[in-house]
Amino acid sequence: MVKKACIWLAGRISYLLYTLLLLVLFLWLLFPEASVQRLSVRALNTLSPNMTWQMDSAALRLPGTLIFAAMTGYNADEARQTLVRVDTLQLQPKPLMSLRTGEPQAAYHLHLAGGTVSGTLILERDGWLRLTGTVEKVQLADIKVWEPSLQRTVEGELSGSFTGRLRTQGADIQEMRGNLRLENGQVELKRPILKHQWFPFDRVTMEVESHGDGIRIEAGQIDSVFFSGHFTGEARIRSPLQQSQLDFHGTLQPRPGFFSRVNNAVVLEAVRNRLRDRELPFLLSGEVGDPGIHFHEFSMLFEALEQEL
């Protein structure tokens, strides 16, 4: 009796596996590539109304990985200005984890801007989409999404880890936490500081936390040929992006490169004497499109340095 039951069960399992194999095979052979590609482009255009998207291909690879290739986002006003290009995006469902948790999950992996972004997507029971992931060596110079609004160049290699939650409708990120690192880059300045048009840096690290339109930065550290320092603060995101509000403060330890273009030796000596046993406090505030920087009690001395350049 037990032997017959085992044979019956083995037969049913074999039939189930055979049916699943045929289903996967048919899905692979009959995968509607053109329809999936068209629907994906339409979704991207809806999620980012200031951009238009093109995609070279969408394909299904066994055992069930979706692969999107050459996804390019252009400025909606200037269709030939490339803002971002994703070389490949892979999505692979995680059926066992989905069954175990009761929440659909998938692994994702992007190749873009010379680096990668990879992690897990989880569709939570309340309809929110949760993301976890890591960023490895993404080159900000190859991502131009912010340039039309900011009218300035940002360069550097971005790495780090993050978690976040967003609504499935609208795709606005509601919560996000991360530890981020920028290396070997520079930021174009809207206003020269001591005749410098660019702020170069070797390394910038920070802890980031956002809720809604607010972004909080903690434990920020800077290492540059101009100075080392630390900072904290927050930003309020507005539309258009250049109207977002900044409020950051911290202290800097100037290095010789910071004063390399100063010609007034008398004022420079006064600054150095005041800073002999102190760090330089600063406040960066105002709109992202044209922020101002203030050096507190040192502001008058810096104004004198600027006037004598």
Model confidence at 101: pLDDT above 90 = no
Instruction: Give the contacts of 192 (CB within 8 A, at least 6 positions apart).
Output: none
Model confidence at 150: pLDDT above 90 = no
Domain count within the chain: 1
* Share above pLDDT 70 across residues of the chain, in percent, rounded to a whole number: 86
In a domain, 201, yes or no: yes
pLDDT-derived band of residue 159, with 50, 70 and 90 as boundaries?
Answer: very high
pLDDT-derived band of residue 277, with 50, 70 and 90 as boundaries?
Answer: confident
Give the separation between CA 259 and CA 194, rounded to whole angstroms.
Answer: 7
54-98 pLDDT, tens digit per residue, is: 888 888 887 778 888 998 988 877 657 888 999 999 988 888 888
pLDDT of residue 100: 85
In a domain, 178, yes or no: yes
pLDDT of residue 247: 96
In a domain, 214, yes or no: yes
User: 201 or 20, which is more confident?
Assistant: 201
pLDDT of residue 146: 80
pLDDT of residue 63: 72
In a domain, 126, yes or no: no
pLDDT of residue 169: 57
pLDDT of residue 274: 85
Mean predicted confidence (pLDDT) in 213-231:
95
14-33 pLDDT, tens digit per residue, is: 434 434 443 444 444 445 67
Can you give the pTM of this predicted structure?
A: 0.84
In a domain, 261, yes or no: yes
Give the separation between CA 21 and CA 32, rounded to whole angstroms.
Answer: 19
Model confidence at 7: pLDDT above 60 = no
Mean predicted confidence (pLDDT) in 257-275:
86
Mean predicted confidence (pLDDT) in 128-136:
91
Model confidence at 50: pLDDT above 60 = yes
In a domain, 53, yes or no: no
In a domain, 302, yes or no: yes
Mean predicted confidence (pLDDT) in 248-274:
89
pLDDT of residue 19: 41
221 lies in which domain range? Answer: 174-309
In a domain, 180, yes or no: yes
